[in-house]
Amino acid sequence: MQQVLTLCAAPGALAADTLVTAARLLAEADARTGDPRWLAREEAADIPFDADRPVDALARVRAGLETVPVDVNGAPSEGRRKRLLIADMDSTIILGESLDELAEFAGIREQIAAITARAMRGELDFEGALRERVGMLKGLPASTIDTVIDGLQLTPGATELVATMKAAGAYCALVSGGFKPMTGAIRQRVGFDEDRSNILHVADGALTGTVGEPILGRDAKLATLKELCAKHGLGLDAAIAVGDGANDLAMLEVAGMGVAFRAKPAVRDAAGFRIEHSDLRGLLYLQGYTETDIVSPG
């Protein structure tokens, strides 16, 4: 079989009947199917298939299962395991937005969170929105950064995603429109090989309200993906990229596997792969890893 349909759900939420329904929907789209295979019992499964128009077959299954809490994705059977991971941080590797957490201590969380949400939906220029939000934090004690870092929570599956891919020989990079102190801490906690992000200017123990230029945004994320592929002798098809906001879309569109993770609607609709119900281990299942392959650090 040349294609594979991957179904992922929250642990224990993928019923055997859903696999049967998915296979039936593929058949209704004139696809020829093989035997389903559990990747993780009641959590993830593959259905191999052949179809003249695999995109249409995938759309048929997604439409037929849209009321079921399951992620439906399709890919060629060959080349599923990727050699490079490029991951966004905020609302992807961590829960929530780190800049919004800083704003909490300044007493302006609602104002800044509203700008963040619009920027992530692609309604505002990312660089301009970042400068505006940082400017609103002028005078905030720099020690607040460490307090925020201590409270950052990882998205379930983050450490397993990175540890498993690294164990298989992949290079893992955290590339964020956020800020260096946070990305450095998360890189160490999760095990990424490197992190790239923006610089918050600090003077006399407080934020100055300015950010280092040039700002790492949409174009820089794409450039990083291309740079790291070239550095490691990989084609773009050997990369998996994951993110949730509009500034991630360029890298999602060109990576071999671009995954919109619990993403804003415009990003989810444009990305080739989407995860809404699974945790970050879903990215491993998309690559054909099974539950026995997954590495759980420490």
Could you give the residue numbers annotated as active site? Answer: 88, 90
- Residue keyed to tokens 């058949």: 27
User: How remote is the C-alpha of 158 from its chain's centroid?
Assistant: 10
Question: What is d(CA 187, CA 179) in angstroms, rounded to the nearest whole number?
Answer: 12
Cα 99 from Cα 287, distance rounded (Å): 32
The answer to whether 57 touches 74, Cβ cutoff 8 Å, is yes
Contact of 97 with 152, CB cutoff 8 Å: no
Cα first-last separation, the chain: 38
Grouping H, G, I as helix, E, B as strand and the rest as coil, residue 119 is helix
Distance CA 109, CA 185 (A): 22
Asked if residues 243 and 271 have their Cβ atoms less than 8 Å apart, the reply is: no
Measured distance CA(113)–CA(120) in Å, rounded: 10
For residue 297, say if its preceding peptide bond is cis, omega within 30 degrees of 0.
no
Residue ranges in the chain assigned as alpha helix (H): 16-28, 54-64, 98-106, 109-120, 126-135, 143-151, 158-167, 180-190, 218-231, 249-254, 265-270, 282-286
Cα 127 to Cα 219: distance, rounded to the nearest angstrom: 11
